[in-house]
Amino acid sequence: MSDLGAEKSFRLNRVFTVGDDLLLEDINGHLTYLDGATLAPRWAYYGLPRTFDEAPDWTESSIIGLSKDRVYVLSRRNGLEELDPATASVVPSAAPVANDTTLYIPTYRTPSGNKTIVAVNLADGYRGWGIRTEDDVEVDLAKAGLHGGDM
């Protein structure tokens, strides 16, 4: 996998920075991870049902994102799923953030749940606690700490 367009065209949708590396997303949700120093592709992932709903987040070891109400946790090393895609049961209102154990998803209030930030356990996909803010959270969350942060 050295030339993205060698076998067929690559219709780029978005580019995400992942530390020093890049994650390319095509219009169908296919992902290609590029080494930041050489821009050489490291791996490709074709398991998303569509593009990410919001920009994915990353940790030192993983890329974490939402696509079609499912949480995807992919290894930065090889692109393999670290967790079977788990149902989030929320509509994200902005980009989520993650640490090594938890994904925090800003979401719109619904009749069945007035939470505006929901936590999902990355070990098993369990949707845990949530909090309600005065208004909907419609801007991307930020993390503090190392590399844009670990919460």
Tens digit of each residue's pLDDT (9 = 90 or more) over 77-89 = 999 999 899 888 7
CB-based contact 103:119 (threshold 8 Å): yes
Q: What is the pLDDT of residue 115?
A: 74
* pLDDT number for residue 120: 87
d(CA 97, CA 112): 23
Binning pLDDT at 50, 70 and 90, where does residue 150 land?
A: very low
- Give yes or no for residue 14 having a pLDDT over 50: yes
pLDDT per residue over 86-116, tens digit each? 888 788 888 899 988 898 888 877 666 677 7
Q: Identify the band that residue 138 occupies on the pLDDT scale cut at 50, 70 and 90.
A: low
User: Which pLDDT score is estimated for 139?
Assistant: 66
CA distance 90 to 105: 8
Q: What is the pTM of this model?
A: 0.83
Pure H helices in 101-149: none
Cα distance between residue 35 and residue 100, in whole Å: 22
* Mean local confidence (pLDDT), 20-42: 95
Rounded mean pLDDT of 47-67? 94
Measure the CA–CA gap between 146 and 87, rounded to whole angstroms: 29
Instruction: Say if strands 97-98 and 81-87 run parallel, antiparallel, or are unpaired.
Output: unpaired
Instruction: Round the average pLDDT of the chain to a whole number and report it.
Output: 84
Question: Taking a C-beta distance cutoff of 8 angstroms, is the pair 94, 56 a contact?
Answer: no
The one-letter code for the residue type at 68 is K
